[in-house]
Structure 1
Amino acid sequence: MRASTLACVDPELFEHHLASAHGRGRAPEGGATGVAGTRLCGDVVRLTLALDPSGQRVAEVGWEAEACGATLAACSAVSELVADAPLLDVARIGAHQVADALGGLSAGKFHAAELVADALARALGTAARAAAALPPPAAPPPHRTLVAMSGGVDSAVAALLAARESGDVVAVTLELWADEQNDGERSCCSAQAVRFARALAHRMGLPHLTLDLREEFSAGVVTPFLDDHAAGLTPNPCVRCNGHVRLDAMLELADRLGAATLATGHYARVEPAEPVEPAAAPAEHAAAPAEHGPLLRAAADAWKDQTYMLAALAPASLARLRFPLGDLTKPQVRALAAEAELPVASKAESQDLCFLAGTSRSEFLARHAGIAQRPGEVVDAAGDVIGAHTGHHGFTVGQRRGLGVAAEEPLYVLRTDPASNRVVAGTRAQLATTSVPVRGARLHRDGARVDRVKLRYRAKPLPARVVGAPAAGTHRRLEIALEEPVDGAAPGQLACLMDGDVVIGWATIDRPAATAPAQ
Structure 2
Amino acid sequence: MDERFAEHLEHPVARGHRPDGGHDGHAGGALCGDLVRVSVAVAGDTVVDAGFDAEGCGALTAAASAAVDLVRGEALLDAAHVGTQPIAAALGGLSAGKLHAAELVADALHAALGQAAWHDAQLAADPGRTLVAMSGGVDSTVAALLAGPGAATVTLELWRDPENDAEASCCSANAVRAARAVAHGLGLPHLTLDLREPFREGVVDPWLAGHAAGLTPNPCVGCNGRVRLDAMVQLADRLGAATLTTGHYARTTPDGLVRLAADPAKDQAYALAGLDPATTRRLRFPLGEHTKDQVRALAREHGLTVADKADSQDLCFLAGTGRARFLARHGGLDDRPGDVVDTGGAVLGRHRGAHLYTVGQRRGLGLDGTGTPLYVLHTDPAANTVTVGDRAQLATTRIALDGLRLHRPAAAVDRAKLRYKAEPVACRLEDDVLVLDAPTEAVAPGQVAVLLQGDAVVGHAAVSASRLHLDGVGSPTEASSAAA
TM-score interval, normalised by the smaller of the two chains: over 0.9
Q: Which amino acid aligns with 1:330?
A: K
Residue 342 of structure 1 corresponds to which residue in structure 2?
304
Matched, 1:253 2:244: no
Matching residue within 1, 14, 39 for 1:23: 14
1:495 matched to 2:449? The reply is: yes
- Give the structure 1 partner of residue 86 of structure 2: 97
Secondary structure at the counterpart of residue 226 of structure 1: helix
Alpha-carbon shift at residue 40 of structure 1 (Å): 3.6
Q: How far, CA to CA, are the matches of 2:414 and 2:457 in structure 1? A: 11
Query: CA-to-partner distance for each residue in 1:282-326, whole Å, 9 max, x for gaps?
Result: xxxxxxxxxxxx211110100100000000111101111000000
For the 8 Å contact 2:70–2:82, the answer to whether it is kept is no
Q: Which residue of 1 aligns with 2:422?
A: 459
Name the residue aligned to 1:162: 147
Per-residue CA shift, 1:248-286, capped at 9, x if unaligned?
A: 10000000001000000000000111xxxxxxxxxxxxx
CA displacement at 1:512 relative to structure 2: 6.0
1:485 & 1:408 partners in 2: Cα distance? 25
**Alpha-carbon shift at residue 46 of structure 1 (Å):** 0.8
Name the structure 2 match of 1:309: 271
Q: Please give the root-mean-square deviation of Cα atoms over the aligned residues, in Å.
A: 1.3
Matched residue, 1:332: 294
The answer to whether the aligner puts 1:362 opposite 2:324 as a matched pair is yes
CA shift at 1:132, angstroms? 4.5
Which one of 319, 327, 339 corresponds to residue 281 of structure 2? Answer: 319
SS at match of 1:47: strand
CA deviations over 1:176-226 (Å, ceiling 9, x no partner):
000000011110000010000001000001000100001111111111111
Letter paired with 1:115? L
Q: 2:338 corresponds to which residue?
A: 376
Other structure's SS at 1:356 match: coil
Say whether the 8 Å CA contact 2:262–2:288 is kept in structure 1.
yes
For residue 499 of structure 1, report the CA deviation from its aligned partner: 1.1
What is the letter of the counterpart of residue 376 of structure 1?
Answer: G
| Structure-2 separation of matches of 1:78 and 1:152 | 27
Deviation at 1:14, TM superposition (A): 1.1
Select which of 5, 14, 28 maps to 1:14: 5
- Given that 1:99 and 1:110 are in contact with CA atoms closer than 8 Å, whether structure 2 keeps it comes out as yes
Q: Are 2:417 and 2:451, in contact at CA under 8 Å, matched by a contact in 1?
A: yes
Deviation per CA, 1:62-118, whole angstroms, max 9, x where unpaired? 111112001111111112111101100000011001000101000011001001111
1:186 aligns with 2:148: no
Aligned identity (percent) is 60
The answer as to whether partners of 1:48 and 1:62 remain within 8 angstroms in 2 is yes
Q: Equivalent residue for 1:114?
A: 103
SS in structure 2 opposite 1:133? coil
One-letter amino acid matched to 1:188: C
- Return the alpha-carbon distance in structure 2 between the equivalents of residues 41 and 334 of structure 1: 36
Question: Structure 1 residue aligned with 2:55, among 53, 57, 66?
Answer: 66
State the alpha-carbon separation in 2 of the partners of residues 73 and 39 from structure 1: 20
Supply the AA of the counterpart residue of 1:318: T
* One-letter code aligned to 1:151: G
Instruction: Output the CA distance in 2 between the equivalents of 1:313 and 1:431.
Output: 30
Distance in 1 between residues matched to 2:128 and 2:5, nearest whole Å = 41
- Tell me which stretches of 4 or more aligned residues in structure 1 moved more than 6 Å: none
**Equivalent pairs, count:** 470
Name 2:379's counterpart in structure 1.
416
Structure 1 CA distance for aligned equivalents of residues 49 and 248 of structure 2? 38
Alpha-carbon distance, 1:39 to partner: 3.2
SS at match of 2:38: strand
Partner of 1:3: none
Amino acid at match of 2:92: G
What is the TM-score when the length of structure 1 is the normalising length?
0.89
* Aligned counterpart for 1:123 among listed residues 112, 116, 121: 112
One-letter amino acid matched to 2:397: T
Unaligned runs of 5+ in 2: 469-479
Provide the rounded CA distance (Å) in 1 between the counterparts of 2:345 and 2:430: 31
Aligned counterpart, 1:444: 407
Is the Cα–Cα contact under 8 Å of residues 45 and 121 in structure 2 kept in the other structure?
no
In the alignment, is the contact (CA less than 8 A) between 1:65 and 1:72 conserved in 2? yes
Residue 41 in structure 1 maps to residue 41 in structure 2: no
Q: How does 1:77-92 map to 2 (within 5 A)?
A: 77-92=66-81
Q: Confirm or deny: 8 A CA contact 1:492 1:508 kept in the other structure.
A: yes
**Match of 1:447, as an amino acid?**
A
Question: How far apart are the structure 1 equivalents of 2:45 and 2:417?
Answer: 45
C-alpha separation in 1, matches of 2:465 and 2:330: 26
Say if 2:250 and 2:287, in contact at 8 Å, map to a contact too: yes
1:407 CA drift (Å): 2.6
